[in-house]
Structure 1
Amino acid sequence: MAVYESRPWLRKALKPAALMLALSLTLGLGSLPLCQAQNAAGSGQAKPDPLLAEAQEALRLKDKKRAAAAASAAIEQAHPLAPWMDYWQLGLRLNEATQPELEAFYGRWPGSYVEDRLRNDWLLELGRRRDWPNFAADYPRFQMRDDREVACYGLLTEHLAGRKVLDAARSAWLAQRDGDDGCHLLATTLYEAKQLNSADAWLKLRLAVEANKSRAARQAAALLGKPVELALAEIQDNPARYLARKAKGGARTHTELATLALMRVAAGDPAVAAELMSSRWQRELPGELDAWAWAQIGRQAAQKLGPEAADYFERALKLAEKNKQSLSWSDDTLAWSTRAALRSGRWPQALKSMELMTAAEQRDPSWQYWRARALLATAADGASGEALRAEARGLLQALASPWTFYGRLAAEDLGEKPALPAAPSPLSPAERGQAQGHAGLKRALLLIDRGLRNEGVREWNYSLRGLNDRSLRAAAQEACEREIWDRCINTSERARGEFDLSQRYPAPHARELLAKSREAGIDPAYVFGLIRQESRFVMDARSHVGASGLMQVMPATARWTAKKIGLDFRPELMTDRDFNIKIGTHYLKLVLDDFGGSMAMAAAAYNAGPGRPRRWREGATLDAAIWVENIPFTETRDYVKKVLTNASIYAPLLGDSSARGGSLRARLGGQIGPKEDDKQP
């Protein structure tokens, strides 16, 4: 209570129901030694470390001798980051390293992140060297198994050893999006062995063109011969000209190439591709490719939110059903088929599209929810529709959860209020001590403290493997108390049976955020929800496009907003916490007002710029959840879902006990459509 009394702003800034959250965080920070409290990673100030700086400079310059000397000194001095300096020096000369050198490295740092990461790098090197005996010996020791190219090399060694790998190899190859040596070599070997055939190669080529992955497309074309490679180059350069001058029907090669050209035309203008299909190509393409081409036209139209997208998909689905062949469309295409059907209110078509997805994709919460909604929409009145309604209720009940967008929607659709769980039992000193003594976690914290956040995050995540819920919470608490909020949140979220809200939904900078939110006239829970998604409360966060600070504001946006609200702007202020919060909250308020108070559209605008959601709201007026699911950008779609879910969870934690505060439906709003001023009289 002494800590609370010494911070009177807590009493003024927070409602009583919020004190538990803020007080728990304050107590946690208050229990830190002063040196740790001042060493919060959010400060972005790295401690000087001359030997580490020397190793980093050698790495930057690719100076092998300097790097080796720094690593040797680090090992001799038992520097806590010696494993990383050793990793850097050996990585610089990996192309000339030998297996005994790697074994010695593994022996120096057994069980560490750098051991497994260097093994990953070495396996790639062995694959490029075609050193299959050493690859086969080292690969079983690879722990992360998160590199698809290494996995393809691994399958190739299995094939060379005489084991049957076709199904796994075909799946890995088709799932590979970007071209690489490992998967291409695997496919080439199996193609030459006549285990993969030309139909497989054409499918891979179509999937690569669909995903706009030019290297993967060229590699698939290489399997089919030089004429196909040359034709693909022409199609990529000018598909309309290829269709007008060279494309023809008849043999499979000709119709496949015409289909690729139609896909490329559709990417630029789906209506032009649809006209080409109607006027000629739907008569010349075989049934499977006819359906594929219409589906691709539908996909491109759906991503542009064209009202005709559902018609294109309907034609494709009917052709696919008529052909009675197993469907080879990607889950991504079927997802857009579903979204187009939802947008146009065609519930049976949405059901059909979802049923054609792979079993794994059908289990995604998005499609579980929309399947339930589609079943309810298509169920007949009375007793004859009760079976479908019962199935829908079962899906919603299984999905209901306070933690996810569709989980909260499912609960609210059932008339339930998603309840947050009670706090778990406190961590014991032994549990805390185990986390504090974990070598990998300690090294990760030191890396972050030294300004090597990316390396620290990778070491941290690797160290979490195999930890149970209690151990994850203990690890998360180490990050929380050092104000490394992204690791605090993400680590706690890994726990499946224990839900520590003070870790998962912390409220750092509460005094400033609450004050600035109210000054701007915006819901604090919405601001907290947005920051949790934007920066995870990391003050020195900087995106790849230049957005900075807690609220990830772009410099041009900050300058414009500052002028709007009469605030001086200087670029160096972007990383000032209070300035960043003030600019961010006022900008969010400006876009919220511009979109009539729609939190969904304002969040989309904050992520993708206001011009895009202005276009996305055009057309039919939609259920707000359908509008969100149809956001064309995957990143923005996911962002909006998470910001609104976060806000719904923060609201009760910040003392908002109103029915609207914790309701996701209320935050979504009922419908989204054209702005009133834009509607035709």
Structure 2
Amino acid sequence: MKQFLWGALAAGLMSLNGGAAAQVGKTGDDRILAARDAVRNGDRASLEWLATGTEGHVLNPYVRYWLLFNKLARPEPPPADELADFFLREAGSMLAERLRGDWLRRMAKDGDWTGYLQLYPDLQAPDQELRCLNWTARLMTGDRSVLDEVARQWMELVDSHTACETALRATLSAGLVGADEVWWRIRRQVEGKNPGQARATLAWLPVGNAPQSAAFEQAIGSPAAYLDRLPPNFAVSRAGRELALAAIVRLARDDLAGAYGRLIRLQDRLETGERAYAYSALALRAAFAQQAEAVAWFQAAGNIPLTAEQRAWRIRSALRAADWPAVRQAIQDLTPNEQNEPDWIYWLARAHAAEGRQAEAETLYGRIADQASFYGLLAAEELGRPFAPPVRSGTITAADLRRAETDPGLLRALALFRLDMRTEGVREWNWSLRGQDEAFTLAAARIALDNGIYDRAINSAERGNPNGNFDMRFLTPYRQLIEPQVRSQGLDLSWVYGLMRQESRFVVPARSSSGAQGLMQVMPATGKWVAGKIGMSSYHLGLLSDPNTNVQLGTNYMRLILEDLDNHPVLASAGYNAGPSRAKRWRDAKPLEGAIYAETIPFDETRDYVKKVMTNTVIYAAMLEGRPQSLKNRLGTIAPRN
């Protein structure tokens, strides 16, 4: 009998394909990892076999999710009963949310718009694609109120997902927007990094109003030559003038002076609003290039509607020019929501103070002075309050700790981190903190810290209270290997920790999309260059993943660029992120206040990075040194460029 059973089992295994047979007997973490690999490789048979496992594992929902995701990708009808059962079993989970999104995309592909509308309300955080598909579903089922919604949001949908096109074109066909709105969309797309998006929008123009595609390609592909060959009658049609504007805008990206010169030559044949638009586009490019003409060109743009980016850079160009009345006016012209951002509250206060309205300035400083942010710290200093050593976080009760320790999402996240599935672990962790109170998030931070997951500890504590929990938010791990390197390089430990916190959140295997690695996010080319500078003959790329070597190379690089950049931490922080040559180029012909230098950095990532590194540095210094710290002093003054 026993021999018969073994023979039957062997025959059953032989009936499986090779991949599925290889999974037989896998249990625990091995089964989870095998299922992950099966879905990545499209190995349907192995995935189905692994999903039949009955052992208890905290990540079993992932195996079921992967199987259902795989089934949704198949041509046969989706398994509605299995999907509904998953939603019931995993109600409220991140995986249920993801699977709903997957099913909704399949419904849209199949044209099942009624089913889409039934499932969509259960989504908690739909992305733009799914929101736009919801508009399409409503249109396809006769709900014309969608068109009014789209018309109101037309200007915000310039870079929208392709799924939005159906609703956008239906709104245009219904007459709720017209040719002017289409041209504005084309203008904004031409201004962007991918002007090719405008090609599709050109087809939305009424017949006879759209320019020839060949002319459009010449205008954006060879703008200088196109402008120089314009016929005298180019301005007779709207399309001719718009193509000239498109060419000026594209030329300004590479040759601002050339674009301005051609605008001067052509502007008398443009309408008033068209000239104003051209000046607004040139002003933005001049502001990026930190050229003094930006202020005058923004003024020449008059009351033409500006994008959020242009409104911000109108302020920054006035700051760079120390034109405080222009700063004040530009901030007062922002939208109400923008005026409430701490950045512009602070700079409006500074403008009031510069113009002698100290009481108004102090009122504005007081609105943000309790925030532990770049502008919150600066505002507090204006009120005579340097940043003092913060108090410790509140006590974590046993009950709160138990709540977090037994939370299914956090348990799944911890298992994912253990299996080095960081992307999934971060998603699961963040989803589990949605809507939770500060006590829960602080307990979650403690659990992350106890498990050495420093980035989740920091982010969880910050989510609970962005103006408190400093001992959990500003950790000092790896101090035994960091501090000796800091001392040998003669660096400020607070600055090193402030930079490292921003670079990697102390995640050893962190790797950026550009290839930077490790605790200090050292680029491969930078690591090789620094290794040569310090005589590290044994260097090879793999050493970047070693914490000791990574910190050694990173701190040496910090010292080298600090010495090359006036020993100024603001310049060196900018140089660490964007390269020393750019940090030098962003200086002015005159001495510049450090805060203005930081605010007018033309790279969004680097501007945010420098502000956060310097804020981190002040907070770390207060905690490590046990005395009040001045952000304003650390920002100091940036010397003129040579």
1:544 aligned residue: 513
- CA drift at 1:172: 4.4
1:92 aligned residue: 70
Equivalent positions of 1:394-433 (< 5 A) are 394-401=363-370, 403-433=372-402
Aligned pair in 2 of structure 1 residues 497, 646: CA closer, same or farther (>3 Å)? Answer: closer
Distance in 2 between residues matched to 1:616 and 1:79, nearest whole Å = 54
2:351 counterpart of 1:371 = no
2:97 counterpart of 1:116 = yes
- CA drift at 1:343: 0.8
Deviates more, 1:598-607 or 1:55-64: 55-64
Post-superposition Cα deviations, 1:462-521, rounded to whole Å, max 9, x if no partner, equal 111110111110111111111111111111111238722221111111222222111110
Q: Which amino acid aligns with 2:264?
A: S
Q: Is the 8 A contact 1:177 1:216 kept in 2?
A: no
Q: Which amino acid aligns with 1:373?
A: R
Distance in 2 between residues matched to 1:402 and 1:517, nearest whole Å = 30
Q: Is the 8 A contact 1:624 1:671 kept in 2?
A: yes
- CA drift at 1:446: 0.7
Question: Aligned match of 2:222 in 228, 233, 238?
Answer: 238
2:34 counterpart of 1:54 = yes
Aligned pair in 2 of structure 1 residues 468, 651: CA closer, same or farther (>3 Å)? Answer: same
- CA drift at 1:259: 1.7
Q: Which amino acid aligns with 1:79?
A: H
Q: Is the 8 A contact 1:376 1:392 kept in 2?
A: yes
1:627 aligned residue: 597
1:196 aligned residue: 177
2:640 counterpart of 1:670 = no
Q: Is the 8 A contact 1:401 1:418 kept in 2?
A: no
Distance in 2 between residues matched to 1:607 and 1:491, nearest whole Å = 25
SS of match in other structure, 2:236: coil
2:271 aligned residue: 286
1:71 aligned residue: 51
Distance in 2 between residues matched to 1:434 and 1:544, nearest whole Å = 36
SS of match in other structure, 2:203: helix
SS of match in other structure, 2:172: helix
Distance in 1 between residues matched to 2:409 and 2:434, nearest whole Å = 11
Q: Is the 8 A contact 2:28 2:57 kept in 1?
A: no
Aligned pair in 2 of structure 1 residues 591, 104: CA closer, same or farther (>3 Å)? Answer: same
- CA drift at 1:71: 2.9
2:15 aligned residue: none
- CA drift at 1:268: 1.6
2:549 aligned residue: 579
Distance in 1 between residues matched to 2:333 and 2:103, nearest whole Å = 40
Deviates more, 1:261-270 or 1:529-538: 261-270
1:596 aligned residue: 566
Distance in 1 between residues matched to 2:389 and 2:625, nearest whole Å = 14
Q: Is the 8 A contact 1:375 1:389 kept in 2?
A: yes
Deviates more, 1:532-541 or 1:225-234: 225-234
2:576 aligned residue: 606
Distance in 2 between residues matched to 1:72 and 1:215, nearest whole Å = 48
- CA drift at 1:347: 1.9
2:240 aligned residue: 254
- CA drift at 1:581: 1.2
1:385 aligned residue: none
Distance in 1 between residues matched to 2:491 and 2:455, nearest whole Å = 24
Distance in 1 between residues matched to 2:226 and 2:105, nearest whole Å = 38
- CA drift at 1:174: 3.1
Question: Aligned match of 1:531 in 500, 503, 509?
Answer: 500
Q: Which amino acid aligns with 2:301?
A: A
Equivalent positions of 1:447-458 (< 5 A) are 447-458=416-427
Post-superposition Cα deviations, 1:540-582, rounded to whole Å, max 9, x if no partner, equal 1111112111111112222222232233323222122122112
SS of match in other structure, 2:248: helix
Q: Which amino acid aligns with 1:265?
A: L
Q: Is the 8 A contact 2:368 2:379 kept in 1?
A: yes
Question: Aligned match of 2:320 in 339, 343, 365?
Answer: 343
Post-superposition Cα deviations, 1:195-214, rounded to whole Å, max 9, x if no partner, equal 22222211122122222233
Q: Which amino acid aligns with 2:425?
A: G
2:249 counterpart of 1:263 = yes
Aligned pair in 2 of structure 1 residues 69, 179: CA closer, same or farther (>3 Å)? Answer: farther
SS of match in other structure, 1:345: coil
Aligned pair in 2 of structure 1 residues 348, 229: CA closer, same or farther (>3 Å)? Answer: farther
Distance in 2 between residues matched to 1:673 and 1:144, nearest whole Å = 48
Aligned pair in 2 of structure 1 residues 368, 436: CA closer, same or farther (>3 Å)? Answer: same
- CA drift at 1:539: 1.1
Q: Is the 8 A contact 2:182 2:201 kept in 1?
A: yes
With normalisation by structure 1, the TM-score equals: 0.84
SS of match in other structure, 1:329: coil
Q: Which amino acid aligns with 1:377?
A: A
Aligned pair in 2 of structure 1 residues 422, 328: CA closer, same or farther (>3 Å)? Answer: same
1:642 aligned residue: 612
- CA drift at 1:435: 0.1
Q: Is the 8 A contact 1:473 1:492 kept in 2?
A: yes
1:162 aligned residue: 143
Distance in 1 between residues matched to 2:359 and 2:170, nearest whole Å = 50
- Root-mean-square deviation (CA, aligned residues, Å) is 2.2
Q: Is the 8 A contact 1:179 1:213 kept in 2?
A: no
Distance in 2 between residues matched to 1:246 and 1:78, nearest whole Å = 73
- CA drift at 1:311: 2.1
Distance in 2 between residues matched to 1:251 and 1:468, nearest whole Å = 60
SS of match in other structure, 1:223: coil
- CA drift at 1:110: 1.8
Segments of structure 1 that go 5 or more residues without pairing to the other structure are: 1-46, 321-326, 380-387
Question: Aligned match of 1:481 in 432, 441, 450?
Answer: 450
Deviates more, 1:636-645 or 1:202-211: 202-211
With normalisation by structure 2, the TM-score equals: 0.89
Could you say which structure has the greater relative contact order, defined with CA pairs below 8 angstroms and 6 or more residues apart? 1
Q: Is the 8 A contact 1:158 1:165 kept in 2?
A: yes
Q: Is the 8 A contact 1:179 1:215 kept in 2?
A: no
- CA drift at 1:215: 5.2
Aligned pair in 2 of structure 1 residues 175, 492: CA closer, same or farther (>3 Å)? Answer: same
Segments of structure 2 that go 5 or more residues without pairing to the other structure are: 1-26
SS of match in other structure, 2:292: coil
Q: Is the 8 A contact 2:158 2:185 kept in 1?
A: no
2:182 counterpart of 1:174 = no
Distance in 2 between residues matched to 1:99 and 1:390, nearest whole Å = 67
Q: Which amino acid aligns with 2:265?
A: S
Q: Is the 8 A contact 1:178 1:213 kept in 2?
A: no
Distance in 2 between residues matched to 1:270 and 1:628, nearest whole Å = 23
Aligned pair in 2 of structure 1 residues 601, 57: CA closer, same or farther (>3 Å)? Answer: same
Q: Which amino acid aligns with 1:621?
A: P
Post-superposition Cα deviations, 1:229-250, rounded to whole Å, max 9, x if no partner, equal 7143333322233333457213
2:187 counterpart of 1:210 = no
Q: Which amino acid aligns with 1:201?
A: V
Post-superposition Cα deviations, 1:149-208, rounded to whole Å, max 9, x if no partner, equal 212222344455436345542454533454523211110111112222222211122122
Distance in 2 between residues matched to 1:483 and 1:473, nearest whole Å = 15
Distance in 2 between residues matched to 1:296 and 1:266, nearest whole Å = 8
Deviates more, 1:224-233 or 1:346-355: 224-233
Q: Is the 8 A contact 1:152 1:173 kept in 2?
A: no
Q: Is the 8 A contact 1:351 1:371 kept in 2?
A: yes
Q: Which amino acid aligns with 1:88?
A: W
Aligned pair in 2 of structure 1 residues 176, 84: CA closer, same or farther (>3 Å)? Answer: farther
Percentage of matched positions with identical amino acids? 37
Q: Which amino acid aligns with 2:456?
A: R
